[in-house]
Structure 1
Amino acid sequence: MSITKYPMTVQGARALEAELAHLTKVERPRLSQAIGEARELGDLKENAEYHAAREEQGMVEARIRDIEGRMQNAVIIDVTTIEHTGKVIFGTTVEIANVETDESVTYQIVGEDEADIKLGKISVGSPIARALIAKEEGDVVAVKTPGGVIEYEIVEVRHI
């Protein structure tokens, strides 16, 4: 059985590392202390504080395992170290313009876990990113959407 590796930007890796550090150095000790204090209150069967702290501890430990697994299976790609050829690749920031409306938008192509449309980060597996990968500035790409096909022109490709 082979383990699948997933691409991740340097920024995405840093964010996960920061979250992991917070969970292990702040949340885990806080919950351990809360469980200890709740235990001292007596009967655990009817101790709401104890059960709430244990439940939260379970969620924190699950998130820690999830992050550790993701980091273990990540291939961290620093796009700033890759020669800029003008082609869209994982990690690049791409400005595209709707051919019909001339409305432009900028996206960074990131790993599945990093995607956040509000921040302009789209998953490498998204329809737009799949259409853009390996294309160059000036190319026009067709993106299939639920509302039909939309054509975009690649205005600029940046390695930032």
Structure 2
Amino acid sequence: MRKSLNFIKSTIVSVTVTTLLLVLVSCNTSQKEKETTFDKIAAKEAIAKENKIFTDAFNKGDSIGAAMTYATDAKFMPSNQKAVSGRKNIQTTIAGYIKAGEINLSIKPVEVWGDEMMLTVEEEWSMTDKDGKEVDRGKALELWKMEDGKWKLFRDCFNSDLPCMPPPPSK
């Protein structure tokens, strides 16, 4: 009887250990497969394409087209201004930039981190006037998320590389 109980105990332990090992291996394998299936180069190219859509719209004075590159729950965080939430409010803010003067915007992704659902993108940008003279340049860190099968700006935070303007003289 004792040998029978020992046999049953050792069988249960063996089955349990084997099951745990199989679960651990399968979890590890699926994580590795997930990591290898995400293509950061393709993601960076997709972001560059969306940036082109944004800059083409912006440079043509189309604030609606530019705002459509943002997620519905996006936040736009320009330097020296309060953050703006939501696509409609972002569109209004972009329209203000467009109305401020004829400028040409260019954006270049530098580095991309993330996965198939959310990306962090480091970018460089520059603005030139109608004569091609650079009027501003800077950098950005943005979060992009997958929405309706496309990468959309989720958080947009940027600032200038140029020195701040001095305050107006006091009276």
* Fold shared per TM-score above 0.5: no
What TM-score do the two structures reach when normalised by structure 1?
0.29
Larger radius of gyration: 2
More strand by share: 2
| Structure with the larger RCO, 1 or 2 (CA within 8 Å, 6+ apart) | 1
